[in-house]
């Protein structure tokens, strides 16, 4: 048994019927590189089964402490059933991008079963008329609960099911055979909880002793104005209220070299700054078309990994975050990039001063039962419609592989993300890179964003506008 951290457990406690806490990924494959130029569902099942030992989360399920008096535990699921987790569907003809996005949205709208390992794979066939994708391609839509992984640790699962060549031999079996675990009784879990709760005051004292010098330094830096606090004027938008249980999904695909060219035109800018500027431009276009653009700029939360070198294979979430402007109040795209670059630099300095890892440790002290009750109460009373937003959207960057990958011999040709939305924040932009491409995806509530294809067009237009504004020709 392995206990979840406070941060990981918070994704369990905060799950509601309208906002479940699963992140998703979308991978598209060309089967022509596989033996005989085809891939079968049975072959994919066999491929994954041979690699289950490569990622610890494949066969681990949750066990919750009664009344959530302490954080849950992972155990090796004695009832693991691979065919429950890997499923098979197909698009009807013609099999175009719009059909695929609608199907992805339906799949990610469904919550995961919290009594089984917290992941599902959907093999989707029939992608015959998707631009930039070979005819006969298939996709793998993955759903994984955020309690199990963050963006960085999620690459463990990606690595587990992919090979570097189409004809790679199956990996060697793990030295120790897999052993399921007995599900502990409520009495055992409560006994563990009693012991952990007795230690909680000492843990709090230790963390406070670590944090006080950091908070003191941060206060001194704020007084000397060597760092700036995060933005506090957060405008309300159509994405700031209560979400429904229904999702939309779409994405755009960009040339990574073009993003690098653009970022080089502004000293100190990064590829992530270019992405944030593109998202800001897309949001500006969309809200202008709806006559809803606020005077104040929209604010994005950008997750920051605090995973050390020694924790690269660690389970769960080791992330903090920073708040930064998206420059939606700036009409000129190059000027917007300058504003975003300055804002992200200031936000990173503030996050470093606060001590993001220390704040993450404080999550272990959170009372789980009260957190869950608070989340359900907020959802039932639609408090998000009354409270000021903390930020407007999330833009999360997940660097992907730089070399070609293969699954069951089929070449991976494109990768996209599909994130989770919550009460008060109904729009997320996962960003992924792979072999010279960068994709900006978005997930939203169907009521908040009824026209996802139009918003995707806004993002494309914003990127073209930024590229033109930074062109030297």
The residues carrying an active-site annotation are 146
HEC profile for the chain? CEECCHHHHHHHHCCCCCCCCEEEEEEEEEHHHCHHHCCCHHHHHHHHHCCHHHCHHHHEEEECCHHHCCCCEEEECCCCCHHHHEEEEECCCCCEHHHHHHHHHHHHCCCCCCCCCCEEEEEEEEECECCCCCCCEEEEEEEEECCCECCCCCHHHHHHHCECCCCCCCCCCCCCCCCCCCCCCHHHHHHHHHHHHHHHHHHHHHHHHHHHHHHHHHHHHHHCCCCCCCCCCCCCCCCCCCCCCCEEEEEEEEEHHHHHHHHCCCCCCCHHHHHHHHHHHHHHHHHHHCCCCCCCCCEEEEEEECCCHHHCCCCECCEEEEEEECCCCCCCHHHHHHHHHHHHHHHHHHHHHHCHHHHHHHHHHCCHHHHHHHHHHHHHCCHHHCCCCCCCEEEEEECCCCCCCEECCEEEEEEEEECCCECCECEEEEEEEECCEEEEEEEEECCCCCCHHHHHHHHHHHHHHHHHHCCCC
Total Cβ atoms within 10 A of residue 332: 13
Handedness of CA 96, 97, 98, 104 (dihedral sign): positive
């Amino acid at each position: 048994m392995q206990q979840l951290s406070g941060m990981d457990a918070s994704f369990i406690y905060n799950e509601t019927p309208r906002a479940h806490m699963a992140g998703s990924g979308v991978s598209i494959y060309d089967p022509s590189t596989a033996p005989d130029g085809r891939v079968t569902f049975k072959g994919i099942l066999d491929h994954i089964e041979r690699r289950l030992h490569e990622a610890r989360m494949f066969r681990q399920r949750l066990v919750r402490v009664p009344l959530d008096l302490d954080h849950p535990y992972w155990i090796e699921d004695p009832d693991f059933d691979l065919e429950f987790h890997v499923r098979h569907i197909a698009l009807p003809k013609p099999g175009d991008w719009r059909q695929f996005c609608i199907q992805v949205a339906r799949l990610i709208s469904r919550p995961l079963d919290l009594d089984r390992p917290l992941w599902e794979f959907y093999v989707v066939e029939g992608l015959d008329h998707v631009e930039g994708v070979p005819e006969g391609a298939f996709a793998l839509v993955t759903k994984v609960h955020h309690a199990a992984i963050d963006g960085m640790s999620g690459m463990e699962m990606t690595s587990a099911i992919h090979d570097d060549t189409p004809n790679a031999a199956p990996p060697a079996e793990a030295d120790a055979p897999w052993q399921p675990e007995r599900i502990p009784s409520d009495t055992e879990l409560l006994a563990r909880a009693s012991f952990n709760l007795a230690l909680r005051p000492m843990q709090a004292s230790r963390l406070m002793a670590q944090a006080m010098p950091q908070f003191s330094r941060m206060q001194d830096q704020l007084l000397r104005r060597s760092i700036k606090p995060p933005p506090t004027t957060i405008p309300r938008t159509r994405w700031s209220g209560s979400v429904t249980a229904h999702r939309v999904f779409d994405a755009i695909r960009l040339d990574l070299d073009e993003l690098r060219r653009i970022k080089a035109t502004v000293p100190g800018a990064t590829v992530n700054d270019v992405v944030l500027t593109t998202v800001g431009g897309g949001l500006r276009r969309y809200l202008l078309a709806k006559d809803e653009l606020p005077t104040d700029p929209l604010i994005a939360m950008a997750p920051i990994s605090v995973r050390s070198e020694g924790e690269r294979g660690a389970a769960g979430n080791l992330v903090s975050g920073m708040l930064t402007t998206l420059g939606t109040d700036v009409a000129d795209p190059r000027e917007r990039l300058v504003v975003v670059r300055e804002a992200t630099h200031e936000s990173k300095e503030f996050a470093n001063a606060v001590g993001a890892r220390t704040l993450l440790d404080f999550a272990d002290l959170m009372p789980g039962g009260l957190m869950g009750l608070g989340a359900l109460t907020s959802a039932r009373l639609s408090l998000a419609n009354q409270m000021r937003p903390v930020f407007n959207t999330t833009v999360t960057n997940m660097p992907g592989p730089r070399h070609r990958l293969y699954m069951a011999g089929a070449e991976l040709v494109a990768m996209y993300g599909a994130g989770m939305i919550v009460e008060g924040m109904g729009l997320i932009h996962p960003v992924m890179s792979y072999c010279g491409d960068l994709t900006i995806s978005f997930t939203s509530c169907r009521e908040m964003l009824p026209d996802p294809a139009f918003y995707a067009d806004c993002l494309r237009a914003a990127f073209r506008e930024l590229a033109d504004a930074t062109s030297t020709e």
